Amino acid sequence: MALFVIERNFAEQLALTKEDARLVQEINDDAGVHWLFSFLSADKKKTYCLYEASNAEAIREAARRAGLPADVIVEVSELRPQAFN
């Protein structure tokens, strides 16, 4: 599985309920993508989400089915500080 960062732009503050999260998880499972974690911008209009997926198209499909934006999807590699010690 590859790692991807997804930038999502929201016109208003994001309010995700427990039920919303469960439904997103079901869609992600069906699409074969795994949501690892997200960061919310200070103005609460953008999220930056880290996902594992086989490809960017699987993320786009899951986002479309969940009714979520996926404005920018970038494949990334992981670097950890301890790797340089």
Q: Are strands 34-40 and 46-53 parallel, antiparallel or unpaired?
A: antiparallel
CATH code: domain of residue 32 = 3.30.70.3090
How many folded domains does the chain comprise? 1
| Boundaries of domain holding 40 | 2-78
Give the DSSP letter string of 47-70.
EEEEEEES-HHHHHHHHHHHT---
Q: The pTM is what? A: 0.85
In a domain, 52, yes or no: yes
Q: From residue 79, how far is each of 3, 35, 82 by CA, in Å?
A: 12, 19, 9
In a domain, 19, yes or no: yes
- Give, for all 85 residues of the chain, the pLDDT tens digit: 999 999 999 866 667 789 988 999 999 999 999 999 999 888 888 999 999 999 999 999 999 999 899 999 999 998 888 878 7
In a domain, 14, yes or no: yes
In a domain, 84, yes or no: no
Whose structure tokens read 């086989």?
A: 54
